[in-house]
Amino acid sequence: MDRKESIVIVGGGASGMAAAVEAARYGAPVLILEKEKRIGKKLLATGNGRCNLTNMDPDQRYYHGQNKNRIESVLKQVPIEEILAFFKDLGITHKVEEAGKVYPYSDQASSVLDVLMYEMDRLNVRIETETKVMSIQQKKSGFLITTNHRNRIEAKKIILATGGKAGSPFGADDSGYGLAKNVGHTIIKPFPAIVQIKLQEKWLKALNGVKWQGEAAFIADGEVKRKEKGEILFTEYGISGPPILQLGRLAGEEGINKKVAIALFPDWTKEAIQAEIYTRLRNCPVKPMDLALTGLLHKKMIPVLLKSAGVEKIARPSSEMTEMQINHLIQLLCNWEMNVSGTLSWQHAQVTAGGIDTNELCSSSMESSMAPGLYLVGEIMDADGDCGGYNLHWAWCTGLIAGKHAAASLSMEKRQF
């Protein structure tokens, strides 16, 4: 049976909820259609359950996408103070941690969801869960939505907030891209970002579980693209940890010959590393080579590094290690190159790179230029941020802009008739 609605928000994630609150505060009747059993499923998993809800410096340089100017003009419309005030008003006292990361003082992502749900309830936002939008058709005066229950809903305005493909265990799928394509949008090929890197090296199993404070550089076709410092985790498939997740996007980009080079002692000079290694290997010539390096390197790393330096029998006396092998070892400690084979899949990725071309929207309202009356918010757009609260920041900003403009345009139309 056909129903008539004013604003329908497709997707009850971060951006959809922000849009719902804002549109309802501007007096618009709002309905959210969410395909999962509950709304905000992914939000609960953010920041390891703590929700890194924004960042004190949400500058465009922390964002990626084909049209950076468009991203910047969206971000500039909603200053960080506005986002903090939005949450303060809902009851979220915030705290700022390293690198400007903002968390709720409660340290609980669930508190962010609770206050958003309370506000939506207070504003009479209606929510229908387990309702997947299957198609959107543009009509003369609005849109026709079809759901998985074969319901047909006429909507004056639609806010498309279906997110990207990243985080499939939390409900992410690619249905939003199909809906956008059907109304004429271009989709820039999505690929995983903020994601672990897969390596081709044979020694991966031997290092599984090793954690090391180092600096990782991503190299594509011989050029260093980005460097990140922090705790690197070696795993059976490759590498993970905060600095690697920041580099993951580069591993998914087009291009060949991708490598990660790890500096195991990023705060030491090459001379200091040389002095340390020579002292260890030459001062006690009878000591087995692997033992000579014990206490400096993780025990699981020693055989891998010695073998990579060309040593076959690692328990032989240190005096047997040749100058060439020592120099090779020093080189590895300074710049240990590993061949990249790709990234883990959507299941593990935290964000989607690519998505709806941002050239196809009006950045001051988030309204689609292909289908007027349709607003685009959140991760479905070709805009992804680094790790640090930037992606939720984008979701809140775009949600607030779209909610306000969809409601304003609705009330203007009412006044005209």
Q: State the residues that interact with ligand FAD by CB under 6 A.
A: 10-16, 33-36, 41-42, 45-47, 51-52, 132-133, 161-163, 166-167, 170-173, 175-176, 350-351, 378-379, 389-392, 395
Task: Report the nearest approach of ligand FAD to the CB of residue 178 (Å).
Answer: 8
CB of 384 to ligand FAD, least distance (A): 8
Closest CA to 176 of 17, 375, 392, 388: 375
Residues 216-236 as b/e (b if ≥16 CB within 10 A, e otherwise) read bbbbbeeeeeebbebebbbbe
Report the distance separating Cα 133 and Cα 182, nearest Å: 13
- φ, ψ of residue 61 to 5 degrees: the values are -70, -15
Fill in the amino acid letter for 264: L
The least CB distance from residue 390 to ligand FAD, in Å, is 6
> What's the closest the beta carbon of residue 261 comes to ligand FAD, in angstroms?
27
Q: What 3-state class would DSSP assign to 366?
A: coil
Burial label, 337 (beta-carbon count in 10 A; 0-12, 13-18, 19+): middle
136: enclosing H helix or E strand:
strand 133-139
For ligand FAD, which is the closer residue by CB, 33 or 397?
Answer: 33
Q: Name which of 321 and 376 has its Cβ closer to ligand FAD.
A: 376
Using an 8 Å Cβ cutoff, are 225 and 96 in contact? no
Q: Are 8 and 158 in contact (CB under 8 A)?
A: yes
User: Which residue in this structure is represented by tokens 């950076």?
Assistant: 68
Q: How far is the CB of 253 from ligand FAD (least distance, A)?
A: 19
**Residue 211 Cβ vs ligand FAD, minimum distance, rounded to whole Å:** 20
Question: Is 173 or 413 the residue whose CB approaches ligand FAD more closely?
Answer: 173
Give 55 or 409: the residue with its C-beta nearer to ligand FAD: 55
Token reading at 357: 């071309």
